[in-house]
Amino acid sequence: MVVMTDEGVSIDPTKPSIARVYDYLLGGKDNYAVDREIGDVFKRDLPGSVAIAFANRAALTRAVREIVTTTDVRQFIDLGSGLPTSDNVHQVAQRHAPESRVVYVDIDPQVLVHGRALLEENERTRVVPADVRNPEDVRNHPATLELIDFDRPVAVIFSAILHHVNDEEDPAGIVRHWRDRVPSGSYFFVSHFRSGHNPETTEAEAVLQQTFGRGRWRTDKEIESLLDGLEILDPGVVPASLWRPDAVDSPFNRNGERELTVWERLIAAGLARKA
């Protein structure tokens, strides 16, 4: 069964979607029974694993805020953006700098429909239907070129997307492509499943591989290698909950007041700069 949207986009509710499963885990409503079935495997069989999604989202919010409040960068490309939720990149950036411009990139048809509806009245935001594995398609898309000035620094966001790029698809090459085509002063944010060499990692990776044929946990060293040629900023590639945590509203501070759960250790984040 295929659902046709008002925009003429076809969505198959019988096949799970990574974006919709993630939406379900974050408490969203833009998902189908097949997505909830996969999400419930994590909730039921891997209790505590939902913390990965929340830790990742919070780190992304902090990173965007950090970029827009401490640098002059006012343009963002969010690759594999997923379904809109609270505190999307443009909302965080424009809250602090209304002139900020954001291009969202995704290939999931439901993401495109919901993203366009959300951003319909935001003239500084665009949604690009493209595969992150084909960066030239993203960079040369008319909507990208309309909004992004590649003669000026850009913040390139790889939030929870590169772990869905298998080794043979060359995730490092994707980052390198962008690194070589943006000017000095550009920033790169990466969050990524972090291998814990434990049963939780093995089981969660197996669920994703069996369902989607992708989902790769990588070590800190492997994640850092994705940012080769860039200056990785403090505190480096660390568990997302410990990446520049808020001092007031978070149970963590820069000294890591509370011990992380095993699940919170399975998502890492890092921010890098092109010199």
How many CA atoms lie less than 13 Å away from 256 in the CB half-sphere? Answer: 12
Given a cut of 80, whether residue 182 has pLDDT beyond it is yes
Given a cut of 50, whether residue 8 has pLDDT beyond it is no
pLDDT (mean) for 76-85: 86
Distance CA 110, CA 151 (A): 32
Average pLDDT, the chain: 86
pLDDT at 66: 97
pLDDT at 252: 54
pLDDT (mean) for 230-243: 96
Residues 182, 70, 58, 78, Cα dihedral to 10°: -20
CATH topology of domain 49-195+223-273: Rossmann fold (3.40.50)
Q: Which helix (H) or strand (E) holds 271?
A: strand 267-273
pLDDT (mean) for 152-168: 95
DSSP H stretches of helix in the chain? 18-25, 33-45, 50-70, 89-96, 109-118, 135-139, 142-147, 171-179, 199-212, 220-225
Given a cut of 70, whether residue 22 has pLDDT beyond it is yes
pLDDT at 202: 80
pLDDT at 239: 94
Out of 53-57, 182-186, 242-246, 248-252, pick the least confident: 248-252
pLDDT-derived band at 112 (thresholds 50, 70, 90) equals: confident
pLDDT-derived band at 134 (thresholds 50, 70, 90) equals: very high
pLDDT (mean) for 68-95: 91
Out of 4-13, 160-169, 229-238, pick the least confident: 4-13
Q: Which residue has the tokens 């499943």?
A: 193
Highest mean pLDDT range out of 69-78, 212-221, 242-251? 69-78
Out of 28-37, 76-85, 137-146, 172-181, pick the least confident: 28-37
Closest CA to 201 of 23, 49, 27: 49
Given a cut of 60, whether residue 62 has pLDDT beyond it is yes
Given a cut of 70, whether residue 254 has pLDDT beyond it is no
Highest mean pLDDT range out of 113-117, 119-123, 223-227? 223-227
Taking the domains of the chain in order of start, what are their residue ranges? 49-195+223-273
Given a cut of 80, whether residue 132 has pLDDT beyond it is yes
Given a cut of 60, whether residue 92 has pLDDT beyond it is yes
pLDDT (mean) for 184-208: 86
